[in-house]
Structure 1
């Protein structure tokens, strides 16, 4: 039976849509509902078709201490390294400035199912998914009733 994900709360959805998802090297910035030619190029170079922008910080959109966020992010780094996926450090920063920037990773290779499962395991409400040639999308990670 397929997993059913809950819709994202309207307030949170707008916050995600008004966030810059940045990677410094290679330089790129994702915005929900927009294409990213720089990421398309990176996916071509990496011979992949999908990517996900994800963080371990502040699960459930609840602020944690810096030390707890850093511990969680380190665990994510170790998990990604063990998976063999290529990852680039980045950060998500809301344009309104009312939420601190969150250390994140742009991970090349996981498909939507793998990415959502990872986001769910990290306690995230949503993650930013990307398919080569498409637009950045918001993927819910909150499992609903079957």
Structure 2
């Protein structure tokens, strides 16, 4: 197994986080390595076999100002829109409240290689990727 340079406590935080797709009563809450019936139905109805959750906030888990995070988030949004990827606003939530909520995008149809490259482009430690099994997986990037 390949060793990661990411601190074990950070990886543990990523694994415990709630990943909320969308807002309101139709939002879907995901946990790493746990099957989601709602997500499976969404993937089928949108005719997608995969998806990714990518954030541009807090590169390498170093806390940035709200302004810098907003700028990075908007840069990621513009990239995704310019490349015609469908996006749904999402939040990455720490149940221990050690980290503030991080904005992210749920991107249906984003293949694993592209998702990894995009996460690395925005200096992220990890992304969440979902295959056709509707089980979110933590993918470490460093």
Structure-1-length-normalised TM-score? 0.89
Deviations 1:12-58 (A, max 9, x none): 11100111100226410110110111111111122111111111000
Q: In structure 1, the residue corresponding to 2:96 is in which secondary structure?
A: coil
* C-alpha distance in structure 1 between counterparts of 2:42 and 2:62, whole Å: 32
The residue that corresponds to 2:72 in the other structure is 72
4+ residue segments displaced more than 4 Å? none
* C-alpha distance in structure 2 between counterparts of 1:85 and 1:36, whole Å: 22
* C-alpha distance in structure 1 between counterparts of 2:83 and 2:28, whole Å: 23
Gaps of 5+ in 2: none
Q: In structure 1, the residue corresponding to 2:34 is in which secondary structure?
A: coil
The residue that corresponds to 1:33 in the other structure is 33
CA contact (8 A) 1:6 1:140 kept: no
The residue that corresponds to 2:14 in the other structure is 16
Structure-2-length-normalised TM-score? 0.91
Gaps of 5+ in 1: none
* C-alpha distance in structure 2 between counterparts of 1:65 and 1:115, whole Å: 25
The alignment's C-alpha RMSD in Å is 1.5
